[in-house]
Amino acid sequence: MIWIKLKRIVRSGFYSFWRNGFVSLSSILVMMVTLFVIGSTIFSGAILGSTLNQIKDKVDVNVYFVTTAPEEEILAIKESIEKLPEVAPPVVYISKEDVLADFKKRHENDEFTLQALDELGENPLGATLNIKAKDPSQYESIVKFLDNESTLSSDGTSIIDKVNYYQNKDAIDRLTNIINSANRLGVILTIFLIIISTLITFNTLRLVIYMSRDEIAVMRLVGASTNYIRGPFFVAGAIYGFISAIFTLILFYPITIWLGNTTENFFVGLNVFHYYTANFGQIFLVIVASGVAIGSVSSFLAVRKYLKV
């Protein structure tokens, strides 16, 4: 008996969808706008996330050691730093010889500087460590670790000459604030757009149900249950959402192709078309699930007014 009722509800849902062809088309187009907003939010989040990650990768802390610092003590500090949970591997060690070679390469056209180095007769540059944190807000705790007594040599003097965190602190703090603000704004904007789009879809589907108000009244008077009356509209709403999702996914294909090179050049290397194809399965599930949920739930709620007979 339950299976028969379920078949009737599904059949009635499909019939309602085809019978109200023009209104169904209007509902699909409106829902496509809703799903397009959701999809655009996904792409915008990916672009923003990629851009912020690229910026974060360019932020680091360099530790400069005194020229007399023993290599074994520097490597011991490096090993201790690598064990910190805030540090993103690897910690890069550059010996004083490599630092000098890099310096000479950068100034290969500056004869005065190279001549001054030759006159010194020894390497005036110390070794360095390059450290990246997992999050920009964690650099301060890493620097505090470097300031403790583990950086002292056997004679009690510090083997660290300078840490450039303090010169970069303003930039790091600014980046941290940008990331936190962008994440909050993204969440708020996404929720706002989805609510607005869902309300538009809800009001559009109410028109479909309004056209069937007399049928609902008759079914109610003859004793049909609430769920039995709601069922076909629930199914029809799910159909609207599914078809709208498929059309939206198809629409995203040429749009992402068109915008792919632009986003790659402008937004630090993220090609939105490559992102779309690489994550198509996840995007498909999100868009289809959103369409079916919005359509079916909107229909389910919109029919309540006409159940009071």
Q: Is position 121 within any domain?
A: yes
* 42 and 82 co-located in one domain: no
Cβ count within 10 A of residue 30 = 19
Q: Is position 271 within any domain?
A: yes
**Predicted confidence pLDDT, tens digits, the chain (309 residues):** 565 655 655 565 555 656 666 666 777 787 888 888 888 888 877 877 777 777 777 777 888 888 888 888 888 888 888 888 888 888 888 888 888 788 778 877 777 777 777 777 777 888 888 888 887 778 878 888 877 645 555 565 677 878 877 666 676 677 667 777 777 777 787 777 777 767 776 777 677 677 666 676 666 666 666 666 667 777 777 888 888 899 999 999 998 888 877 777 776 667 888 888 889 999 999 999 988 888 777 777 777 666 655
Is omega for the bond preceding 90 within 30 degrees of 0, making it cis? yes
What is the distance between the alpha carbons of residues 136 and 60, in angstroms, rounded to a whole number? 8
Structure tokens at 247: 């059309």
pLDDT at 269: 67
Q: Is position 261 within any domain?
A: yes
pLDDT at 156: 59
* 135 and 188 co-located in one domain: no
Against a cut of 0.85, is the pTM above it?
no
pLDDT at 250: 92
What is the distance between the alpha carbons of residues 284 and 71, in angstroms, rounded to a whole number? 54
* 142 and 218 co-located in one domain: no
pLDDT at 285: 93
pLDDT at 284: 92
pLDDT at 23: 66
Q: Is position 170 within any domain?
A: no
Q: Is position 238 within any domain?
A: yes
* 93 and 140 co-located in one domain: yes
* 25 and 108 co-located in one domain: no
* 48 and 138 co-located in one domain: no
* 181 and 247 co-located in one domain: yes
pLDDT at 82: 86
Residues whose CB falls within 8 Å of the CB of residue 216, separated by 6 or more in sequence, listed in order: 209, 229, 303, 306, 307, 309
What is the distance between the alpha carbons of residues 301 and 299, in angstroms, rounded to a whole number? 5
* 195 and 257 co-located in one domain: yes
* 194 and 46 co-located in one domain: yes
Q: Which of 123, 158, 193 is the last residue of a domain?
A: 158
* 209 and 277 co-located in one domain: yes
What is the distance between the alpha carbons of residues 179 and 52, in angstroms, rounded to a whole number? 7
* 180 and 200 co-located in one domain: yes
* 76 and 26 co-located in one domain: no
Q: Is position 61 within any domain?
A: no
Instruction: Indicate the number of domains in the chain.
Output: 2
pLDDT at 212: 66
Q: Is position 287 within any domain?
A: yes
pLDDT at 162: 81
Q: Which of 132, 158, 184 is the last residue of a domain?
A: 158
pLDDT at 191: 78
Residue 39 belongs to what domain range? 2-55+175-307
Q: Is position 270 within any domain?
A: yes
Q: Which of 158, 187, 219 is the last residue of a domain?
A: 158
Q: What is the CATH number of the domain that holds 152?
A: 3.30.70
Largest CA distance in the chain: 106
